[in-house]
Amino acid sequence: MIERGHDLDKLQCRVKVKELRNAYHKVQEANCRSSDVPMSCRLYKELDMILAERLCRIRKRPRRTKEDFLCEVMMHSAAEKQELKEWQDSKKRDQKENVAHQKKATEQL
């Protein structure tokens, strides 16, 4: 930004953007409440285009319902149960193999 002739750091830019956004939202609220002449603020049209586009992108995301969450939890729970069962089966298999090896070792003695 210094190359372009601006003398602002990151914090000053953030504060400026926040001030512009707050001013825009105040004007939006005032225009929604009042039927008088619409108010405006500095860079209102540009901010309206940017923030309206952002709002559209946010709204296009599908909302997840309680059923979606429940289904996801149940699937996760089923997967965990399956993993636990596989682990228990492998542990039993290992124990059987160990017993077989011990019997074989004692027979050789």
Looking at 23, 38, 61, which one is the last position of a domain?
Answer: 61
Calculate mean pLDDT across residues 80-84. 87
The total number of structural domains that make up the chain: 2
CA dihedral of residues 66, 69, 70, 72 (deg, nearest 10): 160
Looking at 61, 81, 96, which one is the last position of a domain?
Answer: 61
* Residue 55 sits in the same domain as residue 69: no
This prediction has a pTM of 0.42
* Residue 6 sits in the same domain as residue 21: yes
In which domain, by residue range, is 30 found?
1-61
Rounded CA gap, 109 and 106, in Å? 5
Whether pLDDT at 90 is above 90 = yes
* Each residue's pLDDT tens digit, 26-47: 888 888 887 777 778 888 888 8
